[in-house]
Copies of this chain bind each other. A is one copy, B any other.
Amino acid sequence: MTDAALHIHPTGHDHAACVDEALETAETLCVERGARLTPLRRRVLELVWSSHRPVGAYDILGRLDGSARKPAPPTVYRALDFLIEHGLVHRIESMNAYLGCNHPEQSHTGQFLICRECGNVTEMDDDDVRQTLRRKAAERGFDARSQTVELVGLCATCRAG
């Protein structure tokens, strides 16, 4: 099995293209903002994007090993902090894991669909949901500033299979 084959996503898309696009978008966005997408941060982003499943910080740490010396946890967490701050990565709270974001341009909080069968996570980013939650909270006098929405269930592919 080639390395490329390993990157084929269950739904059959060419995942290498996903990764390339994500990295290019990140480069562009960081240049625009004057943020520094260092080799380390770029590598971490690449590893987060290695699949559409959330990746644990220590998984990333392990896979960074190949480079020179093995980095320590803070190295990975700092890189993740940077990527999250710039909207390039989301943290999936219910899994203590991290997922690449495919539209980091506009700041947002996504809603995540977590398949309990294949582990893939897709992002909804639905504005109706966002507004509904804001409104419902406001009705109770609560001013919502950030939202965590994570649904666990079965994705279309796994339901069909």
Contact = CB atoms under 8 A, between A and B. Distances in A.
A148 B149 contact: yes
Interface string A136-149: 11001111111111
Contacts of A143: 153-154, 159
Contacts of A128: 132, 136
Copies in the complex: 2
Contacts of A115: 142
A65 interface: no
A116 interface: yes
Nearest to A92: B93
Contacts of A129: 132-133, 136
Given A93-B150, A113-B142, 6 more contacts: A93-B148, A129-B133, A144-B151, A145-B152, A146-B153, A148-B149
